[in-house]
C-alpha cells in the first residue's frame, strides 16, 4: 500500500539519549517488561533516539523518513543485529535473514513463486483448509482463538507448500514446534546476556528440541519430493524448479541446503504472523458489534452465501480494511534491526560502522501525528479519502525497499479468504474477564493474543 506525502515535518537533526538505562542491562528491562509502552514513549525524545541493548549502543528511528532511509539503503544498512543473530540460529541464511548480496540472487529466484497467478491457484485449497480446521466448532463452544488460528494458517501453508507429503502430519509437527521456537526467540531478542541461552534450562531445552524437530521435518519433506520427482504445483515444487536467470547468465538451481533454508523461512515468517493477524481481527470484531455486522453484511453480499472466489476478493473492501487496521494496530514484525556497514550520517548524527539501528512498525503506527487516535481500532481510517492524507511510509507492516516481504500478496490473500470463510458461518463473542492480559500484550517474536478465549455463535448468511 502506497501512501501519499503529507506535511509531516522533516526529521529533526541529531539524536537524544533515552533516559532510564540501567548499568549492564541498559533498556533491556523496559523492552522485556512493557515493550509496547516503551516503544510508544520514544518519539517524545526525538526522531532518532539512542538506547542501550545491554552495554551496546543502538539507535531507534522514530520518523518515517528515517525508516525509509534505513530500509531503502541496503548497502549502508544491512540486515543484522541481535534479532537477526537469533533468527539465523534457526533459519540459516534464507531470504529473511541473508545479507544484501546473497539476498539479491535469492529474491530473483524466488519471486516467481509468489506471482499473483500462482497464488490464485491456491484459493480453493485455502478455502478447503479453513473449512476443515473449523469443522469441529459448535454453537456456544468457548475456544482459544489464537490456538485455532495458528492451526488454520499452519494447515493452509503446509497444504500450499507440501502437496506431495502428508500435510496433516506436517501441520501437526509445525503447530507443536513453531510456538516453542517463537517463544524462545522472543526471550532472546531483548536479553543482553547471550550466555544464558546455553544454560540447560527447561525453556532452552524445549527451544532446542523445537529447532531440531522443524529441521528434521523439512529435510524429510525435501527428500520425499526429490524421490517422487513430480511437479505438484506447490511452493516446494516451484522452489526446486526455479533457475537463476539473472544478468550474470546463471542457470543453476538451488541446492537442497538453500531450499531447506527458504522453506524454514516461509514457515517461521508465514505461520505465526498470519495466525496472529487473523486472531486479532476476530478479537476486534468481537469488541465492536457494529463493525462485525457491517463485515457480515459485506461477506454475505459479495459471496452470495457461497465460497469466496479469487474474482471476489477485491470487492471485500471492509474485510481488507479490517486486516489492514489489524496490521497497523499490532504489526506482526513489531521490532526489527539493521547494522551500519560503514560510517554514515542519519538525521545528521554520525553513525559508526557496526552500530545497530532499530526500527519498529508498531512505533510508527502509533504516532498520533501520523495516525490520529492511534489506540482506537478504526478500519475506516483506510477509506481512500482518509488514506490520501497520511504521510508516506506511515504504514510499514511489510517493510519497504528491496527487502520488503516477498509474501505480502500471498499473506493478504490467505487472510482475506480465511476471515471471510469464518465470519460467513460464525460470530465470536468475548468471554467476560477472560482476556484482561490483552490490555497490555507482551510480544515475543510476534504480537500474538495468546490465549484468546471467545465463544462461538453459529450464524446463517443473511
Within a domain: 14:
no
d(CA 300, CA 305): 5
Helix (H, G, I), strand (E, B) or coil at 59: strand
Cβ pair 225, 236 in contact under 8 A: yes
Which structural domain range is residue 24 located in?
A: 20-458
Per-residue pLDDT tens over the stretch 10-69: 999 999 999 999 998 999 899 888 999 999 999 999 999 999 988 889 999 999 999 999
What is the per-residue burial (b if ≥16 Cβ within 10 Å, else e) of 75-102?
Answer: ebbbbbbbbbebbbbbbbbbbbbbeeee
Within a domain: 186:
yes
Write 434-440 long-range contacts (CB < 8 A, 24+): 435/283, 438/283, 440/34, 440/36, 440/37
| Total Cβ atoms within 10 A of residue 105 | 17
Per-residue pLDDT tens over the stretch 381-415: 999 999 998 998 999 999 999 889 999 999 999 99
d(CA 287, CA 399): 29
Q: In the predicted model, is pLDDT for residue 1 greater than 70?
A: no
Within a domain: 11:
no
Note the pLDDT of residue 55: 86
Q: Domain with 110 in it: what CATH number?
A: 1.10.630.10
Cβ pair 397, 333 in contact under 8 A: yes
Q: Which three cell numbers stand for residue 210?
A: 523445537
Instruction: Report, as an integer, the average pLDDT of 287-298.
Output: 97
Within a domain: 2:
no
Q: In the predicted model, is pLDDT for residue 111 greater than 90?
A: no
Give helix then strand counts, H and E, for the chain.
17, 11
Within a domain: 7:
no
Helix (H, G, I), strand (E, B) or coil at 48: strand
Q: In the predicted model, is pLDDT for residue 186 greater than 90?
A: no
Count of domains observed in the chain: 1
Q: In the predicted model, is pLDDT for residue 462 greater than 70?
A: no
Amino acid at each position: 500500500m502506497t501512501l501519499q506525502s503529507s506535511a509531516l515535518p522533516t526529521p529533526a537533526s541529531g539524536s537524544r539519549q533515552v533516559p532510564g538505562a540501567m548499568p549492564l542491562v541498559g533498556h533491556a528491562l523496559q523492552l522485556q517488561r512493557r515493550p509496547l509502552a516503551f516503544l510508544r514513549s520514544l518519539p517524545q525524545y526525538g526522531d532518532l533516539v539512542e538506547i542501550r541493548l545491554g552495554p551496546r549502543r543502538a539507535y531507534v528511528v522514530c520518523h518515517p523518513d528515517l525508516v525509509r532511509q534505513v530500509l531503502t539503503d541496503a548497502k549502508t544498512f544491512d540486515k543484522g543485529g541481535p534479532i537477526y543473530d537469533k533468527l539465523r540460529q534457526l533459519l540459516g541464511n534464507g531470504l529473511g535473514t541473508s545479507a544484501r548480496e546473497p539476498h539479491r540472487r535469492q529474491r530473483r529466484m524466488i519471486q516467481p513463486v509468489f506471482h499473483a497467478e500462482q497464488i490464485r491457484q491456491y484459493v480453493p485449497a485455502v478455502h478447503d483448509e479453513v473449512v476443515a480446521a473449523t469443522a469441529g466448532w459448535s454453537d456456544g463452544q468457548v475456544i482459544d482463538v489464537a490456538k485455532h488460528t495458528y492451526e488454520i494458517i499452519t494447515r493452509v501453508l503446509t497444504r500450499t507448500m507440501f502437496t506431495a507429503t502428508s500435510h496433516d502430519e506436517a501441520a501437526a509437527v509445525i503447530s507443536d514446534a513453531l510456538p516453542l521456537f517463537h517463544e524462545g526467540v522472543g526471550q532472546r531478542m531483548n536479553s543482553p546476556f547471550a550466555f544464558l541461552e546455553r544454560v540447560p534450562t527447561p525453556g532452552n531445552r524445549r527451544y532446542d528440541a523445537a529447532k531440531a524437530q522443524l529441521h528434521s521435518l523439512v529435510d524429510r519433506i525435501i527428500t520425499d519430493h526429490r524421490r517422487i520427482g513430480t511437479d505438484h504445483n506447490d511452493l516446494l515444487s516451484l522452489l526446486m524448479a526455479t533457475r537463476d536467470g539473472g544478468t550474470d547468465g546463471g542457470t543453476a538451481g538451488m541446492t537442497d541446503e538453500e531450499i531447506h533454508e527458504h522453506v524454514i523461512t516461509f514457515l517461521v515468517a508465514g505461520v505465526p504472523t498470519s495466525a496472529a493477524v487473523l486472531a486479532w481481527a476476530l478479537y476486534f470484531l468481537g469488541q465492536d458489534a457494529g463493525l462485525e455486522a457491517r463485515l457480515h453484511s459485506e461477506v454475505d453480499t459479495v459471496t452470495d452465501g457461497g465460497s469466496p472466489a479469487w474474482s471476489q476478493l477485491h470487492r471485500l473492501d471492509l474485510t481488507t480494511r479490517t486486516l489492514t487496521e489489524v496490521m497497523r494496530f499490532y504489526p506482526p514484525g513489531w521490532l526489527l534491526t539493521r547494522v551500519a556497514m560503514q560510517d554514515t550520517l542519519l538525521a545528521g548524527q554520525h553513525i559508526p560502522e557496526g552500530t545497530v539501528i532499530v526500527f519498529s512498525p508498531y512505533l510508527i503506527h502509533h504516532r498520533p501525528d501520523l495516525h490520529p487516535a492511534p489506540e482506537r481500532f478504526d478500519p475506516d481510517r483506510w477509506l481512500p479519502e482518509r488514506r490520501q492524507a497520511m504521510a508516506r511510509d506511515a504504514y510499514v507492516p511489510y517493510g519497504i525497499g528491496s527487502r520488503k516481504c516477498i509474501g505480502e500478496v500471498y499473506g493478504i490473500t490467505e487472510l482475506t479468504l480465511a476471515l471471510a470463510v469464518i465470519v460467513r458461518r460464525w460470530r465470536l463473542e468475548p468471554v467476560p474477564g477472560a482476556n484482561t492480559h490483552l490490555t497490555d500484550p507482551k510480544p515475543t517474536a510476534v504480537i500474538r493474543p495468546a490465549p484468546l478465549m471467545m465463544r462461538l455463535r453459529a450464524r446463517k448468511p443473511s
